[in-house]
A and B are shown apart, each in its own frame.
Chain A
């Protein structure tokens, strides 16, 4: 299987005043194209830090990260922003939708960075909303949607520009059981039917069951690897 993500000897050190905190220690990780990977571990183990590095939101203190054959650890802020816009979709625990925009406008946001016409942007956002089962809620604002629906809108926003990789940080952490299952089923469908590579951080073993691969992090080190 082709490797989409190659992480080599990655460390991340945060400086808190005079103190240096090493959050990740020499992590090696390969994620294959089309894989659904769950990252688990206790709070402070470095899961979100690793996810941020994979999504190009942060840069490692050492080592290298390649996604789709491209080194992203040495890209400048501008190039990294462009790379994220075209290659990565993000799903957050608290949805992070723009409260003043409709679901349709929220989904369209990443497309504003493309040269698509407004009609084409609307069309693609409509397709993405349909894919997550919310075509009839396109004109609703986030405040008028349930948590599960908001998370599905955020997934539509993540996939609208057709990225290769989806990074999800606790996507079900703020949802009830049923909504969580719906969201996880949707992620699995995106992985299986649309070939999206997904890296998901979760605390929930039930959520991890939807992934086809699970990794555990403890104190910044990968300690266990399991395949579903």
Chain B
């Protein structure tokens, strides 16, 4: 600690250069904080106490392949199954194709499988009684200024009605309030429609469902139940794959994009560039200070002390920038989530992100400082002093 002022002063010897390098490090770690939040959000998708009790059954071939609705009754007979429901992807957009809405056409008992979606009793009754009814998430209603009783035009990006038009009309019957904060981003933006209305209106469905959701009586029996459900369709033209909600969500997302790989690739490129930049700064800083380092050695600082001081300087540079960057990401994440109107529900910066970020700061700091620190340690006093 007694060398800290010396390390600090050396670091800011060339203020402009150090500040510019710091800004780059802040930017890199800000990006890390944001991208890690994206990665964490995707990784945590489906991980909830309720989610653990749910199994999702979809086509073994692809998530766009449909399954017969008749399977519901057979799944319900599997020992360990408490309740089974189903849904179809509607692919709705409001007013503009860019205003995509998570919209599912669901079975009447869908809400019974998702206790984290709370709808008032009266609104539930209205929804059940209204063929063209729709339940909308709180955030979604707020986003488009919808209220109960509104008649809203929706466009399906996939399904036309029998006249060939993709324009549908729904009546807002109730508002979904999420009781699970972790998943609230998703439920907040959800729109639920009647599967019967959907099935009768579009000529493309004909008694088929997109996926089944099963609630099991005992979480420990989930694997056995999943195998039993898949056995129902074995060797048929609609073989199924049943996974836990978490695994199903992860598999679904993986079919869209490997978020972990994308995030790692971007961060790899960013940190590689950062290493070159910070490494160059450190090399320049040490080269400029050859005489000063020689003086330190002259007055008795050991080669190891000089090595440690240069390494500490490099680590300090990375830690300063890194901590600032991740700290900046903290208030930005809720702002981005809010600005995306719930479409992007980013996880807050957690202990895991800080730990990974800290390890990166230390690792990169040591890596970029290693070569200049080694040169400083090997510095020959007489040669270095003679160079002045």
Taking beta carbons and an 8 Å cutoff, which residues of A are in contact with B?
52, 55, 57-58, 77-78, 81-82, 84-86, 90, 92, 94, 96, 98-101, 105, 109-110, 112-113, 118, 157
Contacts and interface: CB of A to CB of B under 8 A. Distances in A.
Contacts of A85: 299-301
B368 to A, nearest CB: 21
Contacts of B295: 90, 92, 96, 98
A110 B300 contact: yes
Contacts of B303: 77-78, 81
A109 B3 CA distance: 9
A98 B11 CA distance: 13
A81 B301 contact: yes
B298 A90 contact: yes
Contact of A94 (B298, B381, B388): B388
B264 to A, nearest CB: 39
Contacts of B2: 112, 118
Given A96-B292, A100-B12, A112-B3, A84 B385 contact: no
B297 interface: yes
Please provide the 9 A-B residue pairs with the shortest distance between their CB atoms, ordered closest to farther.
A85-B300, A100-B9, A96-B295, A81-B302, A100-B13, A84-B300, A110-B299, A57-B381, A58-B382
A98 B6 CA distance: 9
A227 B169 CA distance: 113
B10 interface: yes
Contact of B300 (A81, A92, A98, A101): A81
A86 B10 contact: no
15 contacts: A57-B382, A57-B385, A58-B382, A84-B298, A85-B299, A85-B301, A86-B300, A96-B295, A98-B9, A101-B6, A105-B5, A109-B296, A109-B299, A112-B3, A113-B301
A226 to B, nearest CB: 28
A92 B6 contact: no
Interface residues of B, number: 24
Given A78-B303, A81-B301, A84-B300, 12 more contacts: A52-B382, A85-B300, A85-B301, A90-B299, A92-B295, A96-B291, A98-B9, A99-B13, A99-B292, A105-B5, A110-B300, A157-B299
Nearest to A58: B382
A90 B5 CA distance: 22
Contacts of A99: 13, 292
Contacts of A58: 381-382
A121 to B, nearest CB: 8
Contacts of B10: 100
Interface of B: 2-3, 5-6, 9-10, 12-13, 291-292, 295-304, 381-382, 385, 388
B298 A57 contact: yes
A131 B381 CA distance: 28
Contacts of B388: 94, 96
B296 to A, nearest CB: 7
Nearest to B8: A100
A85 B298 CA distance: 8
Given A86-B300, A98-B9, A100-B13, A92 B382 contact: no
Nearest to B297: A81
B78 to A, nearest CB: 74
B382 A101 contact: no
A150 to B, nearest CB: 13
Nearest to B300: A85
A99 B5 CA distance: 13
B388 to A, nearest CB: 6
Nearest to B15: A100
Given A100-B10, A101-B6, A78 B382 contact: no
Contacts of A98: 6, 9, 292, 295
Contacts of B297: 81
